[in-house]
Amino acid sequence: MLQGSPTELVASFERQRQAFALDPDPTLATRLSRLDRLAAWLDSHESDIVRAIDVDFQGRSAHETRLAEVFVVRTGIRHAQRVPTALHFRPAYNRLMPQPLGVVGIIAPWNYPLQLSLGPALAALAAGNRVLIKPSELTPRLSALLVSMAREIFNPDELDVAIGDVELGKAFASLPFDHLFFTGSTQVGRDVAQAAAANLTPVTLELGGKSPAILDVSCNVAVAAQRIAFGKLLNAGQTCVAPDYLLVPAGTAENVASHLERAITKLYPKLASNPDYTAVISERHRARLAEMVREARTAGARVIEVNPAGEAFNAASRKFPPTLVIGAPVATRLMREEIFGPVLPIVEYANLDDALAYVQRNARPLALYWFGDDASRCNRALRETVSGGVTINDCLWHLAQESQPFGGVGPSGMGAYHGKWGFDTFSKRKPVFHQARWNGTALFHPPYGHTFNWLLRVLSRIA
Ligand code: NAD
């Protein structure tokens, strides 16, 4: 385990590098054993994980931790255990040989601290790599648990955990990893990509942004409101793929807001005193949300705070009430920055062209949600917008598909993982051409003559 010392960090990296050099292509049994150990650790430590994240957040729903962290990682492990066999042992004349890259660095954020550390780690292990993880400084309990996990079930040359602040993060990002996998903000992603570029280390960037949910005129507003309320309030909106803002047909914002109020009340009849309504990660983040709402209100927006039981929200509890904002001007922070909390702006559009133009002129989002039953309008939205992924008539669920890649595009990220895509991200897919003993390629050798010209003519027609 590494406690913030760049020297230890380099030593750990070198240890993994040497171990990789000694065993550059770990057997299927070795890889499966690493994944088995991780799965067994998850099974026996679920309550420790729930407790650690709850302490880090000062209130994280146990159910959310079981679903969005433990369950997701466990599903990933099961899926990965089936992948390498299929890819590895397919005999062919032309062969694409997946090969481990070497030592992989993983930098994780605080919002799903288990899922976003172990999700990429399990894919890197399945592909046969050594793994160094740097979790977020904002989740110290969960990070400590990851350290004890690493000690308990891995050799430090297989998987290690580096604990430290942003400075250690910088030292980490400048190590010459064979692949660097970063999940976090777009701003820090830029710095990480630059640090990696100095070593020509390939990066995967899983970033954030403002993910829109478009309500079409053809949608069932009551159903959409229930699903949006769930997607927005899971982890109190601190989800990279949470709907950031709504685009609704002109004249419907008030109606959509009242459906959302009803839906939220159903999901969370109480908030401040409800253990299933998660807190905001830090006082700084809570104050930021409050300031964004204040600015929008001052700029003329209508702010609806949803608080079904009329509870008091004091700063000490760090819970922030679900807040709907109608008519926030585009220049406000609420409409410019990723919100990452339980605040939901509702923006009206004149027609579908207008809604799509709004999405197109903003940064390409990590997710886009479409609510509506009109297939041709939905297809237009799919064709005319570029986003990391889409869920139609619901929120978030495209992220949970191990049979689909997950990742952003442009400012919301580059590269992808989950399922087979995680395995590929952490592998060099090396093309190998097996030459046969008897073959015709000598016909292409000089000295060139009639045979060469005839052959080229024939091949040009059929190739
Ligand atoms: P962050 O970018 O502030 O920090 C992420 C990690 O980077 C932390 O471990 C931090 O210590 C480290 N770090 C900070 N500065 C660094 C530097 N200069 N060099 C190297 N490492 C550095 O992000 P956060 O606040 O922890 O997480 C929230 C953000 O993450 C949101 O923008 C959210 O959308 C995004 N996110 C994206 C995904 C996804 O899958 N695309 C998932 C979760 C969160």
- Name the residue of 72, 73, 106, 111 to mutate for ligand 1: max ligand atoms within 8 A of Cβ: 111
| 454 part of a folded domain | no
Query: pLDDT at position 437, please?
Result: 81
- Does residue 182 sit in the same domain as residue 253? no
Tell me, using a 6 A CB cutoff, whether residue 117 lines ligand 1.
no
| 438 part of a folded domain | no
- In this structure, which residue's CA is closest to atom 26 in ligand 1? 109
What pLDDT band is residue 93 in, cutting at 50, 70 and 90? low
| 439 part of a folded domain | no
| 194 part of a folded domain | yes
Q: What is the CATH number of the domain that holds 389?
A: 3.40.309.10
State whether the Cα torsion 335-336-337-338 is positive or negative. positive
Q: Give the pLDDT mean for 148-175.
A: 96
- Does residue 368 sit in the same domain as residue 258? yes
| 180 part of a folded domain | yes
Query: Nearest to residue 141, comparing CAs of 219, 52, 72, 61?
Result: 52
Residue 64 a catalytic site member: no
Indicate whether 242 pLDDT > 90: yes
Query: pLDDT at position 83, please?
Result: 53
| 440 part of a folded domain | no
- Does residue 416 sit in the same domain as residue 382? no
* Mean per-residue pLDDT over the chain, rounded: 94
| Non-local CB neighbours of 187 within 8 Å, separated by 6+ positions | none
Q: Give the pLDDT mean for 337-359.
A: 97
- Does residue 115 sit in the same domain as residue 246? no
- Does residue 135 sit in the same domain as residue 246? no
- Does residue 116 sit in the same domain as residue 188? yes
Least confident of 50-64, 161-175, 247-261, 302-316: 302-316
- Does residue 107 sit in the same domain as residue 42? yes
Query: pLDDT at position 88, please?
Result: 37
Q: What is the CATH number of the domain that holds 83?
A: 3.40.605.10
Query: pLDDT at position 436, please?
Result: 79
Tell me which of 361, 376, 407 is where a domain ends. 407
- Name the residue of 117, 136, 282, 418 to mutate for ligand 1: max ligand atoms within 8 A of Cβ: 136
Residue 206 a catalytic site member: yes
Indicate whether 116 pLDDT > 90: yes
Indicate whether 263 pLDDT > 50: yes
Find the catalytic residue in 64, 206, 348, 402: 206
Indicate whether 341 pLDDT > 70: yes
| 249 part of a folded domain | yes
Indicate whether 439 pLDDT > 90: no
Indicate whether 339 pLDDT > 70: yes
Q: Which atom of ligand 1 is nearest to the CA of 399?
A: 40
Tell me, using a 6 A CB cutoff, whether residue 110 lines ligand 1.
yes
Tell me, using a 6 A CB cutoff, whether residue 170 lines ligand 1.
yes
Indicate whether 316 pLDDT > 80: no
What pLDDT band is residue 402 in, cutting at 50, 70 and 90? confident
Q: Give the pLDDT mean for 249-264.
A: 98
- d(Cα 291, Cα 41) in Å, to the nearest integer? 41
Q: How far is the CA of 187 from the centre of ligand 1 (A)?
A: 9
Domain count, the chain: 2
Q: How far is the CA of 339 from the centre of ligand 1 (A)?
A: 14
Indicate whether 2 pLDDT > 60: no
Tell me, using a 6 A CB cutoff, whether residue 169 lines ligand 1.
yes
Query: pLDDT at position 330, please?
Result: 96
**Predicted confidence (pLDDT) per residue in 36-56, tens digit:** 999 999 999 999 999 999 999
Residue 290, strand partner residues: none
Higher pLDDT, 105 or 432: 105
Q: Give the pLDDT mean for 306-325.
A: 92
Indicate whether 89 pLDDT > 70: no
- Does residue 162 sit in the same domain as residue 283? no
Tell me, using a 6 A CB cutoff, whether residue 166 lines ligand 1.
yes
Q: Which atom of ligand 1 is nearest to the CA of 188?
A: 2
Q: What would the 3-class secondary structure string for the chain be?
A: CEECCHHHHHHHHHHHHHHHHHCCCCCHHHHHHHHHHHHHHHHHCHHHHHHHHHHHHCCCCHHHHHHHHHHHHHHHHHHHHHHHHHHHCCCCCEEEEEEECCEEEEECCCCCCCHHHHHHHHHHHHCCCEEEEECCCCCHHHHHHHHHHHHHHCCCCCEEEEECCHHHHHHHHCCCCCEEEEECCHHHHHHHHHHHHCCCCCEEEECCCCCEEEECCCCCHHHHHHHHHHHHHHHHHCCCCCCCEEEEECCCHHHHHHHHHHHHHHHCCCCCCCCCCCCCCCHHHHHHHHHHHHHHHHCCCEEEECCCCCCCCCHHHCCCCCEEEECCCCCCHHHHCCCCCCEEEEEEECCHHHHHHHHHHCCCCCEEEEECCCHHHHHHHHHHCCCCEEEECCCCHHHHCCCCCECCCHHHEECCECHHHHHHHCEEEEEEECCCCCCCHHHHCCCCCHHHHHHHHHHHHHC
| 452 part of a folded domain | no
Find the catalytic residue in 69, 158, 240, 348: 240
**Predicted confidence (pLDDT) per residue in 15-29, tens digit:** 999 999 999 999 999
Indicate whether 443 pLDDT > 90: no
- Does residue 25 sit in the same domain as residue 135? yes
**Predicted confidence (pLDDT) per residue in 184-232, tens digit:** 999 999 999 999 999 999 999 999 999 999 999 999 999 999 999 999 9
- d(Cα 271, Cα 251) in Å, to the nearest integer? 30
- Does residue 197 sit in the same domain as residue 242? no
- In this structure, which residue's CA is closest to atom 17 in ligand 1? 170
Tell me, using a 6 A CB cutoff, whether residue 173 lines ligand 1.
yes
* Domain assignment of residue 247, given as a range: 212-407
Tell me, using a 6 A CB cutoff, whether residue 188 lines ligand 1.
yes
- In this structure, which residue's CA is closest to atom 19 in ligand 1? 170
Tell me, using a 6 A CB cutoff, whether residue 98 lines ligand 1.
no
Query: Nearest to residue 135, comparing CAs of 159, 152, 157?
Result: 159
Query: pLDDT at position 86, please?
Result: 41
Q: Give the pLDDT mean for 449-453.
A: 90
Tell me, using a 6 A CB cutoff, whether residue 413 lines ligand 1.
yes
Query: pLDDT at position 91, please?
Result: 39
Percent of the chain topping pLDDT 90: 85
Query: pLDDT at position 3, please?
Result: 59
- In this structure, which residue's CA is closest to atom 9 in ligand 1? 136
- Does residue 16 sit in the same domain as residue 34? yes
- Does residue 244 sit in the same domain as residue 349? yes
Tell me, using a 6 A CB cutoff, whether residue 168 lines ligand 1.
no
